[in-house]
Chain A
Amino acid sequence: MEKKLSKLIEDIRTGKIYSSTDVVISSLRVLEGLAKSTNNLSELIDLYHKYLPVLIKARPASAMLANSVRELLTSIVSALERGLSFKELLEELSKKRTEIERRINEAINSAALIASRRIQEGDVILTNSYSRSVLRALKVTKDRGANFSVYVTESRPGSEGLLTASRLSSLGIPVTLFVDSAVRYFMKDVDKVLISCEAVAANGAVVNKIGTSLIALSAHEARVRVFVIGITYKFNPETIFGELIEIAEEEPQATLSYDVKEGIKSLSPLFDVTPPEYIDAIITERGIIAPQAVTTVLREIYGWPFKLEGIEGLLEKLENYSGRRE
Chain B
Amino acid sequence: MKLPAEVVKVFEGIKSMRIRGAGRIARAAARALEVAAKGYEGSEEGLLDYLVYVANYLKSSRPTAVSLPNALNYVLSRVKAAKDRGIMPLKEVALKAAREFINYSLRAVEIIGEIGAKRVKDGDVILTHCNSSAALSIIIKAWREGKEVKVYATETRPKFQGYLTFKTLSSKGIPARLIPDSAVRYFMKDVDKVILGADAVAANGAVVNKIGTSLIALSAHEARVRVFIAAETYKFSPFTLFGELVTIEERDPREVVNSDYLLANPGIKVRNPAFDVTPPEYIDAIITERGIIAPQAASLVLMEEYGRAIGGCLIKVTVDMEDEGL
> What residues of chain A have their CB less than 8 Å away from a CB belonging to chain B?
153-157, 162, 165-166, 169-170, 172, 174-186, 209-211, 213-214, 217-218, 221, 255, 258, 260, 263-269, 272
Contacts and interface: CB of A to CB of B under 8 A. Distances in A.
Interface string B68-97: 000000000000000000000000000000
Interface of B: 152, 154-158, 160, 163, 166-167, 170, 176-187, 211-212, 214-215, 218-219, 222, 248, 256-257, 261, 264-265, 267-273, 276
Nearest to B180: A156
B218 A211 contact: no
A217 B219 contact: yes
B182 A155 contact: yes
Nearest to A250: B180
A267 to B, nearest CB: 5
Nearest to A261: B163
B152 to A, nearest CB: 8
A169 B276 CA distance: 27
B271 A176 contact: yes
A120 B178 CA distance: 40
A177 to B, nearest CB: 5
A260 to B, nearest CB: 6
Given A166-B265, A218-B218, A272-B186, A180 B170 contact: no
Contacts of A258: 155, 160, 163
Given A266-B179, A272-B186, A182 B269 contact: no
A266 B160 contact: no
Q: DSSP class of B's interface residues: helix, strand, loop or mixed? A: mixed
B177 A266 contact: yes
A269 B178 CA distance: 12
Nearest to A247: B186
Contact of B182 (A211, A264, A266): A211
B183 A179 contact: no
A277 to B, nearest CB: 11
A165 B214 contact: no
Contact of B180 (A177, A180, A217, A264): A180
25 contacts: A154-B157, A156-B180, A162-B261, A166-B264, A166-B265, A172-B267, A175-B268, A175-B269, A176-B268, A177-B257, A177-B269, A179-B157, A179-B212, A180-B180, A181-B154, A181-B181, A181-B215, A182-B276, A209-B182, A210-B180, A214-B184, A214-B185, A265-B166, A267-B179, A267-B187
Given A174-B267, A175-B269, A211-B182, A181 B211 contact: yes
A265 B215 contact: no
B64 to A, nearest CB: 13
B215 A165 contact: no
B268 A169 contact: yes
Contacts of A165: 265, 268
A202 B211 CA distance: 35
Q: What are the 7 closest A-B residue pairs judged by CB atoms, nearest first?
A: A181-B212, A211-B182, A169-B267, A266-B178, A181-B181, A180-B182, A179-B157
B256 A154 contact: yes
Nearest to A151: B271
B310 to A, nearest CB: 31
A217 B223 CA distance: 11
Contacts of A255: 180
Given A177-B256, A181-B211, A221-B218, A214 B264 contact: no
B180 A157 contact: yes
A186 B155 CA distance: 20
Contacts of B219: 214, 217
Given A165-B265, A177-B257, A210 B163 contact: no
Contacts of B170: 263, 265
B57 to A, nearest CB: 29
B163 A184 contact: no
A181 B186 contact: no
For A165, A169, A180, A263, which residue has the most chain B Cβ atoms within 10 angstroms? A180
A156 B215 contact: no
Contacts of B180: 156-157, 180, 210-211, 255, 268
